[in-house]
Amino acid sequence: MTTPFLNTPPTSQQFYINGDWQSPAYPATLPVVNPATEQVIAEVARGSGEDVDRAVAAARAAFPDWSATPVEARVAILGKIHGLILERKEELAQALSLEMGAAIGFARAMQVPLAAEHVRVARDVLSTYTFQKIEHGTAIQREPIGVCGLITPWNWPLYQITAKVAPAIAAGCTVVLKPSELSPLSALLFAQLVHDAGLPAGVFNLVNGSGAEVGAAMAAHPDIDLISITGSNRAGALVAQAAAPTVKRVTQELGGKSPNVLLPDADFAKAVPPGVMSAFRNVGQSCSAPTRMIVPRNRLAEVEALATATANAIIVGDPQSEATVLGPIANEAQFNRVQAMIEVGMNEGAKLVCGGPGRPEGFEQGFYTRPTVFSQVDSAMRIAQEEIFGPVLCIIAYDTVDEAVAIANDTVYGLGAHVQGQNLELARAVASRIRAGQVLLNYPAWNPMAPFGGYKRSGNGREYGVHGFEEYLEIKAIVGFE
């Protein structure tokens, strides 16, 4: 068997189904564009409903044996997958930089290692998890739900794949993965990696294609028991609608407009710069990016100065350069969206502190965007309400802590939030009042065991750690067990 990608230019016109690379039912391809050059660098196979049917059939056939595979054997394979990700980290990082413009340093330090962590965590959770407990004479048993359809986005391609695939197969499920058609190269490398780790045929299957074709076919498929999607609100709603007739479980990690509340006692010199960098991490293309910085009105000028200095120091450039902090926006459609929303902010009367429309100086091609900060933003403005998904920060002023909490909650989203303050008791109290699935106090280290997911229109269900693992399990009560 040959690896389908990493020729020059990389190409793949096959899917990974039932333990082998197979040609699509119909010969059609989708282009992969390098956002730094705007050039097509690969063509990947474009799947159809027939390809989904083959992949689901393989997963369904593999489920009885895989779900009955001893925990120790599943732990061993997850360990091999984890080891191979680390072993092939440079190849994966290069693919990520190529397909979605991630700065190579960021791909090496964050995109790949954090993806590996999801596999390690799934392995460790599985190794100690209790699948059966006896309560009042009844056995409460947790069992793998079955065949899982997994739909992943373009902004954290490998990271989101492992966040779904690892706990699913750890739980004893089999999967069909549809990676984003905009950044599919790292997914192809992952499929080969899984194969090389010795995962049995049919446990993991990959079908590339569009959401309208492959994603819709998966959501509606009667032999898929769970559909998990990370993506836009529009895509999440369409998946839920398509899944409804078959009453399958649907988990969604969707959009966000996360607040970062700086309490009056915060150390602003220490709180503002990392707040800007958190909002702009991955070129602002993170659902939980804290893109609304909510600050005391009497500190507004200080915050503006600190934010400007931080944003202006960010190196935007060629993602292959070691010095680059932010590469380009990942695709043309998103680049156009970010540019349009910067214009909206200016037209709405927000104060443009730094950045603005257009490419940074010296760039005539590539989807590069100027790190942009708006101040004097009103919570009713579109730039304060709509997910921009780019390096655009809104600074919103408040007069009281109660008002700060109200502004933080003034959104249809509820994925993540940040609170900064030296009085930890007050920071905790504010965190408990924010309607979001995860609140971070004073920029803590990333915790892969902490459940992640949304309130309101940010979705339902949780990922990461034990809670993410349990999304792939059903609960059975055996009454009269004792």
Residue positions annotated with a catalytic role: 253, 287
Does residue 414 contact residue 455 with C-beta atoms inside 8 Å? yes
Closest CA to 346 of 357, 333, 336: 357
Name the residue type at position 62. A
**What is the chain's Cα-based Rg?**
23
What tokens were used for 322?
A: 């070691």
Report CA 102 to chain centroid distance, whole Å: 14
How far apart CA 32 and CA 77 sit, in angstroms, is 31
Rounded Cα–Cα distance for residues 77 and 82 (Å):
9
| Three-state secondary structure string covering 313-357 | CCCECCCCCCCCCECCCCCHHHHHHHHHHHHHHHHHCCEEEECCC
CA–chain centroid gap for 396, Å, is 26
What is the token pair recorded at 108?
């090496």
Across 35-184, the runs of DSSP E, i.e. the strands, are: 39-45, 132-135, 138-144, 147-151, 174-178
Question: Rounded to 5 degrees, what are φ and ψ at 177?
Answer: -105, 130
**What backbone phi and psi angles, to 5 degrees, belong to 24?**
-70, 160
Read off φ and ψ for residue 325, nearest 5 degrees: -100, -45
Enter the tokens of residue 145: 């739900």
Asked whether the beta carbons of 41 and 9 are under 8 A apart, the reply is: yes
In terms of Cα–Cα distance, which of 471, 446, 371 is closest to 159? 446
Q: Residue 342: which residues within 8 A CB-CB, separation 6 or more?
A: 355, 356, 357, 372, 392
> Exposure of 479 by Cβ count < 10 A (0-12 exposed, 13-18 middle, 19+ buried)?
exposed
Would you say 103 and 326 are in contact if contact means Cβ atoms under 8 Å apart? yes
Of residues 222, 220, 230, 191, the one with CA closest to residue 208: 191
Token look-up 């895509």 returns 235
Number of CB atoms found within 10 A of residue 441's CB: 15
- Give per-residue burial for 355-382: e unless 16+ CB within 10 Å, then b: bbbebbeebeebbbbbbbbbbbbebebe
What residues form DSSP beta bridges with 227? 149, 250
Assigned token pair, 482 = 């004792």
